[in-house]
Structure 1
């Protein structure tokens, strides 16, 4: 696999190497040692979530409340989604910026992000299934919601019709309102990656 840091420090895209034959294909989606090597932080799975969405469903933006010490590995295992990671770390040099990635089951690209990064996606196909490997168990109330359509963020969703959203997501406050509430995580320097012991495969 190839692990590449995105435009937002501390977040990564993971590109698997596919092996194909007459049966289909196989790829390694994640490996503990590689994630630890690249991110400088151990990643131990404590919870696994899956969401299935109809086309046009918009989920998020969600971010961990302070302190946000959890991280997640996000993969689309069926269908396709347009995914956004948004830097909501107060004091970060890239605060308010985003990294956009198309995730689909055919390519198998995954995203690694700390809990302090906002996350949202738009389902591009009916039945799109996204899995989340989480390094910490969910704690009710320890999540902050933001309006994914906030003009201040100006995320390029490319919508041609109103998205399908949960009442909670549709009523989520703007970035300015959440910033004023003091609930956003603060920026801390990302731990440097450990020296590589082998070339990227």
Structure 2
């Protein structure tokens, strides 16, 4: 493990590579991409309220952070990262023995993280596939596939899938865990579902 310089020196080496709506990507010095510093940065930023995805790409020396801009902003993320740099730089590096090096090389934590990511990805696509199957099964207007009603129904489904994809991480990691806090988002969701169901019922009556 490389001994880290002072927090101010580390902060000067951190640059913002990309800044978007609820997403920021930093370029980090190589020393921060080594273990256990990289894992400490990921775990520390995940603990910030509003942050729902953190990935540090070790080889590319890039840190990607997704956050809910209604719960925190870029300044909060930057301050949290700077605080983590101070903690890492102030920690005594030490020289682990043979047993310590063997524990550091243990692939089981990495395999566990990859397994959890794979399970999350699989559950997400199972849900989307089941939802798509239900929507396709409930399409009486597909008899006239080029009719105005069929095109409008298809576009409504397309918008629904897009909204699910864009907000999937927020739904699973924030909205479901704190429904009262995100009640406005849930009210909007229920209203959109109501409009979609009503549109389907009206289309079925006209058949």
TM above 0.5: no
When you count strand as a share of all residues, which structure comes out higher? 1
TM-score (norm 2): 0.24
When you count helix as a share of all residues, which structure comes out higher? 2
With CA pairs under 8 Å and 6+ residues apart, which has the higher RCO, 1 or 2?
Answer: 1
